[in-house]
A and B are shown apart, each in its own frame.
Chain A
Amino acid sequence: MKAFEYVNAQTPESAAGLIGTEGRYLAGGIDLLGEMKEYIATPARLVNVKNLPTTREISKTPEGGFRLGANVTIAELAAQADLPAGLIEAAAEVGSPQIRAVATVGGNLAQHSRCWYYRQRDLTCLKRGGSTCYARDGENKYNAIFTGNPCISPVVSNLAVALTVLSAQAVVWRKSKEVRLTMAELYADAWNNPLAQNSLQPGDLILAVEIPAPVAGVRSSYLQVSEKSDFDWALVSCAAAGSVNEGKFRGVKIALGAVAPVPFQMEEANALLEGKPCNEASANAAASLILATATPFSHNGYKVPIARALIRRTLLNLAK
């Protein structure tokens, strides 16, 4: 690891001032230290943002929603029983107990690609500014089946998928003020731009995530399938939120993770479910619509049936 300078920031403004051109924000450091040890990231300065005010708290918003400070750890999040079930389930699947004790909400959302080729120290893939996506013709078992650009690295944040269906917004410190981005907006750039991990610009810092006030009767669920049972990223993950009234889906949102550079959602599928009976046939119809445009590569065709099964199971969980 390249030696770095370690500085403490006390306010978002000072953090943004300290970061400079060669600095990186340090929260839990799980993803960043990994990149630094592999010489994928070589920042000259780490700006400790763990001490920023109110970023370690989970609080209620004036509207009755939740505000999750960006430095809340995944373990703290998973232990907060009054949060939506789907979010807690997504948090519980993150890493290992040791990782959850350190990793943060902000870091989970902002984590970088886990594509094998992106993580190769000596290889400059498309996402790192090179000219080739090696995964396309290489080992693409874990890669995306939807993408809007030549890079097929998928988003791997569990929380992003769960927060998408909860209509959450990220509170981002950008150019000396707070801006609010939906999850779709937070990742939109990665759909088209192979170099982008998300839509954050240099110096942007996630301060919190806000979840709208829960509506009576609305449930949420998150499920993932992994290759093995130690801490492992999802092969496919799925989150859904909405209600089931008199056996019918109402206001349902559904999103998939680990299949696209963004949390993958399709408004048409949400619309299709509206008022439909809560059963396998409706769920399968939604799955077919969502997966119709999937373009698997040589080794990841298996993700399609897994996604189909997960969509069905997650949707049916809303009635439980």
Chain B
Amino acid sequence: MSFTINGKTFEEKPRPGQCLRTFARDLGWFGVKKGCDAGDCGACTVWLDGKPVHSCLVPAFRAEGREVTTIEGLACNGTLHPMQQAFLDAQAFQCGFCAAGMIMTSASLSEEEKKDLPFRLKGNLCRCTGYHAIEDALAGVGHVEPDRAGHACGSSLQSPLAHSIVTGTARYTSDIKMEGMLHLKVLRSPHAHAKILAMRTEKARAVPGVHAVFTSEDVPKRPFTSALHDDYRVDPDDTYVLDNFARYVGQRVAAVVAESEGAAEEACRLIEVDYEILPAVFDPEEAMLPGAPVLHNKEFSSRIQNAKKNIFLQIDSEYGNVAQGFSEADVTVEGNYSSNKVSHAHLETHIAIASQSEDGRIHVRTSSQAPFQVRAKLAYLFAIPLERVHVYTERVGGGFGGKQEMLCEELCVLAMLKTGRPVKWEFTREEEFIAGVSRHPMTTRIKVGAKNDGTLTAIQVRVVSATGAYGNHGGETLAASLSQSLQVYRCPNMQGTGYAVYTNIPPSGAFRGYGSSQTVFAVESAMGELARKLGLDLMTLQRKNVVIPGDAVHSIWEGPSDAEMGSYGLDQCMDFVETALASGRGETKPEGEEWLEGKGHAIHMHDCIPPTEQRSEAHIKLRADGTYYLTNGVTEMGNGTITSMRQVAASILNSMADRIEIVIADTDKTAYDTGTFSSVGTSVSCKSVSLAAENLRDNILKIASEYTSRPVEECALADGNVQCGDRTIPLTELFATARDARHRLEVMRKAYGSPRTTCFNVHGFRIAVHRVTGEIRILQSVHAADAGTILNPMQCRGQVEGAVAQGIGSSLFERMVFDGNGKMVNPNFRNYRISAFADIPRTEIFFADTYDAYGPLGAKSAGETPIIPVAPALGNALADATGVRFASLPFSADRIFEQLADAP
């Protein structure tokens, strides 16, 4: 029996029950990824005798005597396969986790088959790109521009990681093997609310290969929150590494470490638990009522505001006087809106590996958006000095907020400390759904008052947010939902009341749009209703009421604010979308009078930085060989910050980007960075780079001026040298000179997240709706963004395309469904459906021409916010087409059918 993979013959035999995916990875072919392990996502696609298959659904024995090809076998004698080159040229990936599988499928297609990509790419999912760039790659369209000194800012430069991604050599956390590594698995609660009375672990410990079993007895008695914020006090300390109470179906109650995942899983099944089942509550309104089961009977020090009513946080705030505002109104509209629980569905699941070096330091390789916060939490939990903990990421396969959370690192460290062996824990896709985090489902009651001419007089919102069994991110998302969602309107009276409520469902967390998405859906839907009631066009109503340059940024809060409009492009964005929707571009409505057509749009203004503490620190130096070395603690998970940072530095140093080596996301090698979330990649982390690069540039010029005795005004940096009048000094020479003169061409600068600038997004749709079946077809999709200076057009377009795709999915079909016992019934990609190639229309994308006063080189956030106006734009288009207001997400065919059937 022998196996041939990428032309090499292996004598190893698969284990009984092993699939081709893990067998290939055991033999070192790490380009074969795991996204679902169920044949749903295509990340593990390999060729079997030249045909693409999901290697997770092929028993390894089946490959005997056949030719297996993985992404690593595609290049020939060092020359990339044309499809790898095409993906490189179009930069048809972001985090890169799906790219290997996507390329394997794409490279198998004939020219004829490439004409029907929606059909041919059914088996490959990408959560980042929105598929436009993939379509371009298959059509041979390239976007990458040459790296030229002096042109870095504004050029579509390729990611420094691109080559490793298309060749399958990029190393994600799961691709790391360590000597003696053990595997961790957990037992999860089958009950939504229960007290653990006793646990018997003898049988589990007896399973061959098992090293240890951990229960709540074995963990530090320190409550913490899994949310990653610099200011940990914004989240409640309501979580233990392992608890003796289970508060949702799927909460971990015990952990096993073993030589193999299989042994650990088997041992988990043999742990016997005696539960005292407690009454559970799933609806947040019911959870606040007297007599409801109480989830957290905790001390006040846990920062839970009203534990007896299951309210982690209540917010009440008013700006102006809404009662008076409504009394002045000629017209009011009211509505109740609700949003769904949505999974991030990054294709790389949560994963961490903990190990210890001989000096006793702890090393954690993880897939996190905020390694410095993970370090702080681990140091706190295990009562060890910060310096003894090293946390780092390399490639991260998507985040979208889901990895602004510590969900697996702590158990790996616990197990590693107890066993003395490296420990790895990788979530399954099911665990990602039931025990990862997800978007907060919120219900919003909104009332808006206006004069007959459309002038807004008052806006009032009441938001109930289901934070789930734990309060991580429950407070900050609630605050954002009540404030950011309103601040695009210059209404004199605004009031918000909000509750972040515990229920016995899996915890919610940070999700792209962070609370704003949910309430903007309500606000923009209500504006659509108001426009209809007033007989006004929605654009006209909005233009009358939106903030204008010079306005203060305000919503429901009294008191001063550090949010400011550093540049203003809302007017341009609205014009772009209005003109595009009026152009007649896009598809035409299907024939037949049962098809209705409608247009709709929505607007949003977003803070580019969170109100919590945010800072970043860049170090940059000139090296002896005339290149630069840049470090920053930012993480890269497909958001493109690493590319932007090099471009910012290159632009300021008038250099090619390739002359700048960059190291990120490593608590040993880089200085503190709060974390990559809340739109800060450009606004804060890149800002520190621009400050450092400017300072380094000034230093270099000063030294060059002294060295050449020319006035500094006559000195300028060029690629690889300094031009001082008519003299050209190579940077290598200048470096040597500076060293001799004891100058240090090494700079550190910090950037702080204050003041906080704002960005704008407007999305428009033209859609067709089948009045009988409820089927929706998107005929035209238009997005306009004000992201200030566009540092990298290809990358910014990609961020918008990906956000819009995620928005379309969560508006049309994504929904985590729970049964009456609080158990999620669709925890897999087959039943929780994310967008595939065929589901996503081509969006027309426009960028406003503005220059931000605070951001690096005039740039501000681009990646997070385009998702926010998507749902209400679809809702407004649906209302336009059908005359019916759909107030509950998602707009799936069955719901539309039900409501249309009931409509008069």
Contacts and interface: CB of A to CB of B under 8 A. Distances in A.
Interface of A: 1-6, 26, 29-30, 33-34, 36-37, 46, 48, 50, 75, 92, 95-99, 101-102, 114, 116-117, 119-120, 122-123, 134, 137-139, 141, 225, 227-232, 235, 299-302, 305-306, 309
Contacts of B587: none
A43 B249 CA distance: 27
B894 A299 contact: yes
B123 interface: yes
B63 to A, nearest CB: 12
A30 B62 CA distance: 13
Interface string B874-904: 0000000000000000001110011001000
B38 interface: yes
A116 B825 contact: yes
Contacts of B125: 230
B42 A120 contact: no
A3 B262 contact: yes
A266 B583 CA distance: 49
B52 to A, nearest CB: 5
B748 interface: no
A4 B14 CA distance: 12
A227 B836 contact: no
Contacts of A36: 17
B38 A302 contact: no
B54 A98 contact: yes
Nearest to A137: B820
B117 to A, nearest CB: 11
A227 B813 contact: yes
A123 B824 CA distance: 11
Given A4-B16, A46-B59, A139 B826 contact: yes
A296 to B, nearest CB: 10
B831 interface: yes
A229 to B, nearest CB: 3
B838 A229 contact: yes
Top 8 nearest A-B pairs (CB, nearest first) are A96-B123, A230-B836, A229-B838, A302-B897, A96-B122, A98-B123, A3-B16, A3-B17
A37 B123 contact: no
A97 B124 CA distance: 9
A122 B269 CA distance: 11
A207 B800 CA distance: 51
Contacts of B39: 30, 33-34, 95, 98-99
Contact of A225 (B17, B37, B58, B773): B773
Among A98, A114, A235, max chain B CB count under 10 A is at: A98
Given A6-B61, A33-B57, A302 B894 contact: yes
A33 B775 CA distance: 33
B835 interface: yes
Given A116-B825, A300-B894, A134 B819 contact: yes
B15 A98 contact: no
A301 B39 CA distance: 30
Contact of B57 (A29, A50, A137, A301): A29
A203 to B, nearest CB: 21
Nearest to B123: A96
A141 B54 contact: no
Interface string B245-262: 000000000000000001
Given A5-B16, A96-B123, A134-B819, 6 more contacts: A92-B119, A102-B57, A227-B892, A228-B835, A230-B125, A231-B123
B563 to A, nearest CB: 38
A141 B890 CA distance: 14
B114 interface: no
Interface of B: 15-17, 19, 37-39, 42, 45, 48, 51-54, 56-59, 61-62, 105, 118-120, 122-125, 190, 262, 772-775, 812-813, 817, 819-820, 823, 825-826, 830-831, 833, 835-839, 892-894, 897-898, 901
B123 A229 contact: no
Nearest to A5: B16
Contacts, number: 146
A122 B893 CA distance: 29
B122 A230 contact: yes
A185 B326 CA distance: 68
B833 A228 contact: yes
Contacts of A229: 118, 122, 836-839
18 contacts: A1-B262, A2-B17, A6-B16, A30-B39, A98-B42, A98-B54, A101-B52, A117-B825, A141-B894, A227-B892, A228-B813, A229-B838, A230-B838, A231-B122, A232-B833, A301-B898, A302-B894, A309-B772
A301 B835 CA distance: 24
Contacts of B839: 228-230
Contacts of A235: 893
Given A97-B123, A98-B123, A230 B897 contact: no
A26 B123 contact: no
Contacts of A302: 773-774, 893-894, 897-898
Nearest to A306: B773
Contacts of B37: 37
A120 B893 CA distance: 24
B57 A96 contact: no
A230 B819 contact: no
A48 B64 CA distance: 13
Contacts of B38: 34, 37
Given A225-B775, A228-B835, A30 B57 contact: yes
A2 B836 CA distance: 31
Given A4-B16, A99-B54, A29 B59 contact: yes
A33 B59 contact: yes
Contact of B823 (A97, A123, A228, A299): A123
Contacts of A114: 830
A111 to B, nearest CB: 13
Contacts of B897: 301-302, 305
Contacts of A123: 823
Contacts of B820: 137-138
Contacts of A30: 39, 57
Contacts of A230: 122-123, 125, 833, 835-839
Given A30-B39, A228-B833, A309-B772, A3 B15 contact: yes
Contacts of A98: 39, 42, 45, 52-54, 105, 123
B833 A116 contact: no
Contacts of B15: 3
Contacts of B901: 301
Nearest to A299: B894
Nearest to B894: A302
B17 A102 contact: no
Nearest to B897: A302
A33 B825 CA distance: 20
Contacts of B42: 96, 98
Contacts of B831: 116, 119
